Amino acid sequence: MDMEKIAILLTCHNRKDKTINCLKSVYRAIDLSKHKIKFDIYLVDDGSTDGTNEEISKKFPEINITNGSGELFWSGGMRLAWETALKQDIDYDAFLLLNDDVVLNELFLDNLLLTHEFCLKQYNQSGIYACSTKDELNSKISYGGTLITHRGFKIKSKLVKPTDVPTPCTMANANILMVTKDVVKAIGILDKKYIHQFGDYDYTLMASEHKIPVLVCPGFGGICGDDHGNSWLPSNSSLKDRINYLFSPLGLGYNEQSYYLKKHFKYQYPYYFTMLWLKTLFPFIWDKFKKTKVEISK
C-alpha cells in the first residue's frame, strides 16, 4: 500500500512558540523529502489565550484549526483532531500523531515510510510506526517505543533504542506516531475514557493485543524534551494538594490510570494501585530514595 495522503494531527494549549516551531519543522521536512505525498494538517487549539490561533492562521492559513473548550487536554484534543480528519471526504492512507513540542528532523518522513515498507514485507500487513525523540539537553531518548520484558506482580519494560532497521515494541508514545488506515479500521481511534494521559499507550497496547505490528523506526525523528518530572508531590505539600494531584489529569490521573491498568494489566493492578496511594499518603519514602515514575505510566 503506497502512501499518497496523510493527515497530521496535533493539539495545543498556550505554547505558541513551541507549536509554531513544530509546524515549521513539519513543512521543512516535507519540502526536503523526495516523496510526493499530500499532507493535510488538523490542529485543535484547546482554548489558548496567548494568540496561538491567530498566529498560526496568519502563518499557515491552509491548516485546519478546530477550537477546543480548554478542557480537552492531550487525549481529548488529539481525539477531536482525529475525528475532524475522519469527517472529511478524503481517504487518508495514514494519520500522523504529533506532539506540538517536537522539532522534527529532515529524515523523519523517510524513516516512517521505510518502516511502513518493512512492515508490509515482514508482516504482510500495515501497522503503527513510532519515531523516537532525543532530549536536546542530554541527547538521551525522551520518547519512543517501549518493550515489555516481564509481567510479574509488576511490569518490567525498557525504551527501545532505535537502530538502523525497524524494531518491534509493545507500546509507544505518540510524540511522532504514524497509524495506517487499516489499523483505524481494525481498532478505531483513541479511547474516550482518557482525558490527558495513557491514551497513546492504551492505543498501541490494544494494537499489540490485536496482533497489529507496532514498530520503532530507524534513527531519531526529532528533538523533544522529557517533561514528565517526578510522579509525586513532596511531603512538604499538604495532603489536600497531594490528593488533588492524585486525581488531576495533569498529575497522576487516578481515574484514567486505574482504567488503563485494569484494561491491560489486571494482575498487576493491585501493586500499582497501592503505589499510587503510598505516593500520595507517604511521599517521604519517594523524597528520600528519589524513586522514578513507574514504567507503565505516561
Give CA torsion, residues 117, 122, 124, 130, to 10 deg. Answer: -60
Q: Quote the pLDDT of residue 5.
A: 96
* Closest to 131 measured CA to CA, from 102, 94, 170: 102
Instruction: Locate all alpha helices (DSSP H) within the chain, ordered by sequence.
Output: 16-32, 52-59, 73-87, 108-123, 181-187, 199-209, 239-247, 254-264, 269-281, 284-289
Q: In angstroms, rounded to a whole number, what is the distance separating the alpha carbons of residues 137 and 141?
A: 11
Domains and CATH numbers, the chain: 5-223 (3.90.550.60), 239-289 (no CATH)
Grouping H, G, I as helix, E, B as strand and the rest as coil, residue 176 is strand
Residues 231, 279 contacting (CB under 8 angstroms): yes
Q: In angstroms, rounded to a whole number, what is the distance separating the alpha carbons of residues 172 and 75?
A: 14
* Closest to 249 measured CA to CA, from 177, 190, 298: 298
What's 213-257 look like in SS3?
CEEEEEEEEEECCCCCCCCCCCCCCCHHHHHHHHHCCCCCCHHHH
Burial readout 218-246 (b: 16 or more C-beta within 10 A, e: otherwise): bbbbbbbbeeeeebbbeeeeeeeebbebb
**Considering the entire predicted model, what is its pTM?**
0.93
Distances (CA, A) of 94 to 1, 6, 16, 237, 284: 11, 5, 26, 45, 46
Grouping H, G, I as helix, E, B as strand and the rest as coil, residue 68 is coil
Q: Quote the pLDDT of residue 297.
A: 35
Q: Which three cell numbers stand for residue 222?
A: 526529532
Report the sign of the C-alpha dihedral through residues 273, 275, 280, 282, in that order: positive
Q: Quote the pLDDT of residue 60.
A: 95
* Closest to 61 measured CA to CA, from 27, 98, 101: 27
For 53, phi then psi, to 5°, come to -55, -50
Q: Which three cell numbers stand for residue 266?
A: 489486571
pLDDT-flagged residues of the chain (< 50) = 291-298
pLDDT tens digits, 4-53: 999 999 999 999 999 999 999 999 998 877 788 999 999 999 999 999 99
Q: Quote the pLDDT of residue 226.
A: 80
Q: Quote the pLDDT of residue 82.
A: 98
